[in-house]
A and B are shown apart, each in its own frame.
Chain A
């Protein structure tokens, strides 16, 4: 059973702080990784896609991938109350469009 594990949270951070969201995956064949943000009552929104080891930055978001440790993380700098949402991690095996999702981490940014 291929699994993607996330701490369900909630993770509470003060406004302006760095939020660090973590994800581990069990399938070593996973090649691509996704982070989605899902506001309550809304559908998920893709915010980061990463497939190479290392860091990928987009605005206030940085995704970090360590394939040797089977670990993906998402850092949100200068967290804002509008970042309060559930963040879903997902993994996809190479050349195979089946994406396995984690159950999500709920982030609360306290003003």
Chain B
């Protein structure tokens, strides 16, 4: 019953490292999203993609980039990790199933930047 998977549950990186977070969905959804979730701030949208090779900035894109080379895979890249990027990162995919809106989140990646 796997729907959205993320490459890592926990990551520890050093300041300045390049970090790749991968997300894969098996529902043939066109829309995929990267969020970060921080206490007191809730879920904030970093980037989303509505098709292969298409991407749109969310509310907090600074310091991040994304890649969507295949429909099922959406990657988040931290070009040079900083301590303020320590967070829980959640990937989601969204589409329609039997006429109803559906969205599934992955299990999340808890990233610690030292």
Q: Which residues of A are in contact with B by a Cβ distance under 8 Å? A: 32, 34, 42-46, 49, 88, 90, 97-104
Given contacts A34-B103, A46-B103, A46-B104, contact A101 B43 (CB under 8 A): yes
Q: Does B34 contact A (CB under 8 A)?
A: no
Q: Is the CB of B106 within 8 A of A98?
A: no
Inside 8 A of B104's CB, which chain A residues have their CB? 46
Which residue from B42, B44, B108 sits with its C-beta under 8 Å from A104? B42
Given contacts A44-B105, A103-B40, contact A98 B45 (CB under 8 A): yes
Q: Is the CB of B42 within 8 A of A103?
A: yes
Which residue from A42, A46, A100 sits with its C-beta under 8 Å from B102? A46
Q: Does B48 contact A (CB under 8 A)?
A: yes
Q: Is the CB of A43 within 8 A of B45?
A: no
Q: Which residues of B are in contact with A by a Cβ distance under 8 Å? A: 31, 33, 40-45, 48, 50, 56, 58-59, 90, 94, 100-108
Give Cα A49 to B43, complex, Å. 17
Determine the main DSSP class of B at the interface with A: strand
Residue of A nearest to B105 (CB): A43
Inside 8 A of B40's CB, which chain A residues have their CB? 103
Question: How many A-B contacts at CB < 8 Å in the complex?
Answer: 44
Given contacts A88-B42, A103-B42, A104-B42, contact A98 B48 (CB under 8 A): yes
Q: List 11 A-B contacts (CB under 8 A).
A: A43-B90, A44-B105, A88-B42, A90-B43, A98-B48, A98-B58, A99-B33, A103-B40, A103-B41, A103-B42, A104-B42
Q: Is the CB of A43 within 8 A of B41?
A: no
Give Cα A1 to B50, complex, Å. 23
Inside 8 A of A42's CB, which chain B residues have their CB? 107
Inside 8 A of A32's CB, which chain B residues have their CB? 101
Inside 8 A of A46's CB, which chain B residues have their CB? 101-104
Distance in Å: Cβ of A103 to nearest Cβ of chain B: 4
Inside 8 A of B50's CB, which chain A residues have their CB? 97
Q: Is the CB of A102 within 8 A of B42?
A: yes
